[in-house]
Structure 1
Amino acid sequence: MRITAHRLAGSLAAAALSLGTLAGIGATAPAAEAATSSVTGVDVSASQHPNGAAINWTSVATTEEFAIVKATEGMSGSYDNPWFGRDFDGAKAAGLVVGTYHFADPGLPAADDAVGEARHYYAVVKSRQGAGVLPPALDIEEAQGLTPAQLRTWVSSFLAESKRLFGRTPIVYTGPSFWDSAVGSTSYGGYPLWIAHYTTATSPRLPAGWTSWKMWQYTSKASVPGISHVVDRNYFNGTLTQLKSFASGTSTTPARNGVCEAGELCYYYNSYEAGSMSDHKASQADYGATQPTCYEFKTAGNGQGTCVKNHAASVWNRTGHTVRVYFNSSYGGAYQSVAAGAKVNLNSTLKNQNASHRTV
């Protein structure tokens, strides 16, 4: 069993203090809270319970709007936060918007470990999923000896399996320097970003591939009523109404604007990029087959409103990476590789028989 500072301290705060520059977080909290958002929340784990002290969630709710609780780390049998259930239930009872996170322990074989960790995470938290709960979150800040290519495989596998299990697009928690050096990919911008960056600036530095953040962990040293240990504090990028909407959402469709932009893969209903178009910001393991939850052709033209699954005829790859379009869901069956920047008609096997795609 690997024993880390996270397992001993059990918190994102401890992780931030120990990794610091490596994660691109920075060591200094802002002198004053940035006027970025009035919606704030904490993330907690075992280290917020020194000598077994409980958190008074009613007091926490006097200053905070949301709480994200560490659930698991690594595979089954590695580490589960012993305070998870009590903190989750206590925060929810106090009226906070609640969520969970999993601390990644990547290793070899990369894909197998990632899937196992996602399944363990889901098994621990599934009984507490439902309306008003934030999407699952992956805390990725250690490479554990994996190369960037191996870590990308690990992250993609974890996110895909989590999305399948939870039915929601997972949140990615990371630091900008760690992500850019250890992962080195711009292909994950379709996932909501929880960015860890401690700075005196009024906005965080974003990792490559993201143009906006959903939550910003701006300090690990906050003093919050009801918690007897310093704690990570976060902004939500939006209003309280938007936070509640984000928590209650059930669709896995990322925000799309009907424009084929840099970083996206775009399907067309007809050959030669004709007809209605559907833009995608990340790998998708399953498009869905029926409305109102499927990924659909979005713009005006032939096929508008039709589900993308088994109806695409051509594609424009603007992700900057090779993308494989698969015959089956979950990246199975025959596939066609589409080079970065390419506009192609799907071949006779894949035309109107597409069920998933993945960046490679």
Structure 2
Amino acid sequence: MAKKDEKNPLEPILKASEKSRKQALKNAQSVKKKAPQKRKSPVKRKPQNKKKSKSFSFKKHIILPIFLIAFLYALWHYRYTLFYFVENKIEKRYEVSLDNEMRVFDVLSGHKNLLYGIDISHYQGRIDWEPVMKIQDSFPVSFVFVRATAGKDLEDRKYKQNWKALKENSIYRGAYHYYRPDENSIQQAINFINTVKLEKGDLPPVLDIENVPSTQSIDSLKLGLKRWLNRVENHYKVKPILYSGEDFYNRFLYEDFEEYTIWIANYRFLKETIEPDWKFWQFTDKASVPGCLTAVDVNIFNGDSLQLKKLLMK
């Protein structure tokens, strides 16, 4: 039997072991409280997409050249319209700074061997015809075109009044129809025929076409114009005159309407002389004429008085 106060020789080792275990547990709890910072994973580079590379190559070598060719074709196809637009923009700046009345004087002075005239509608209001006999008090008015109708059912509000006044003042007169491209051509011809009673000594009827249609093709427009012209010619027994802007005529009408007498509108500031194939040239819509309350269109007839008389109704 052992003695009562004798110590166990392993006791120090056991105590040290227990102390170490507690310290380790304490350290573990402390580490647990502080969450370790996660390391950022390196950014992985995506492998090059071979399909995307092939798609880009297709766009570069096929689609882009096709688009470029289409763009160049559009520029060529609409060259007249683009040139007309750009030139108009440039020339309008000149017109702001230069006196338009001086241009009217210069153009009329440059055609002293030809005849001068104006065209009017209800937009000019009531006209005092006695002072109208001369443009700028220097250039005699030899003829006047009057708007009679527009579209299939419109009659100009001042037509009858102007038409009668021209006869009373012994001025050569002509009537024109403003063509609306999206309305029926035969109905428009009937509207003109029912309104205008041409007499011996009057100028031939005029068809005014200025705009492209919005609901039909250009070919349909040409067909409609032909129908109007034929219907009116059959009624009055004289070939009508065709009025249009220079760009519009060259682009859409020239090849199919060469047999008609043409009346061309060209307001370009740098245009100074009438072309040989133009029977009438409307060179401005901004002239001031005594007796007219608003600006007036001024025209030049490409001929003398004898040639104008040959054009009149027989």
TM-score range normalised by the length of the shorter chain? 0.5 to 0.7
One of 120, 123, 131 as aligned partner of 1:47: 123
Partner of 2:179: 104
One of 209, 212, 226 as aligned partner of 1:140: 209
One of 157, 166, 170 as aligned partner of 2:236: 166
Q: Distance in 2 between matches of 1:168 and 1:196?
A: 23
One of 259, 264, 269 as aligned partner of 1:195: 264
One of 102, 109, 114 as aligned partner of 2:185: 114
In the alignment of these two chains, the number of paired residues is 211
Equivalent AA in structure 2 for residue 33 of structure 1: V
SS at match of 2:311: helix
CA contact (8 A) 1:45 1:69 kept: yes
Q: Distance in 2 between matches of 1:92 and 1:184?
A: 33
Partner of 2:290: 225
Q: What's the CA shift string for 1:9-41, capped at 9, x where partnerless?
A: xxxxxxxxxxxx57x988556822152353111
Q: Which runs of 4+ in 1 moved over 4 A?
A: 24-30
One of 154, 176, 179 as aligned partner of 2:246: 176
| TM-score normalised according to structure 1 size | 0.55
State the superposition RMSD in angstroms.
2.3
Using the TM superposition, give the Cα deviation of residue 185 of structure 1 relative to its aligned residue in structure 2, in angstroms. 4.4
CA contact (8 A) 2:107 2:273 kept: no
Gaps of 5+ in 1: 1-20, 206-210, 251-360
Partner of 2:141: 64
Equivalent AA in structure 2 for residue 136 of structure 1: P
Partner of 1:33: 107
Partner of 2:155: 80
One of 142, 150, 154 as aligned partner of 2:220: 150
Gaps of 5+ in 2: 1-83, 135-139
State, as a whole percentage, how many aligned pairs show the same letter: 29
Partner of 1:234: 299
Structure with the bigger percentage of strand? 1
CA contact (8 A) 1:66 1:97 kept: yes
Specify the structure having the higher radius of gyration (Cα): 2
Equivalent AA in structure 1 for residue 130 of structure 2: T
Equivalent AA in structure 1 for residue 120 of structure 2: V
Using the TM superposition, give the Cα deviation of residue 204 of structure 1 relative to its aligned residue in structure 2, in angstroms. 4.6
CA contact (8 A) 1:148 1:184 kept: no
CA contact (8 A) 1:118 1:158 kept: yes
Partner of 2:56: none
Q: Distance in 2 between matches of 1:184 and 1:41?
A: 25
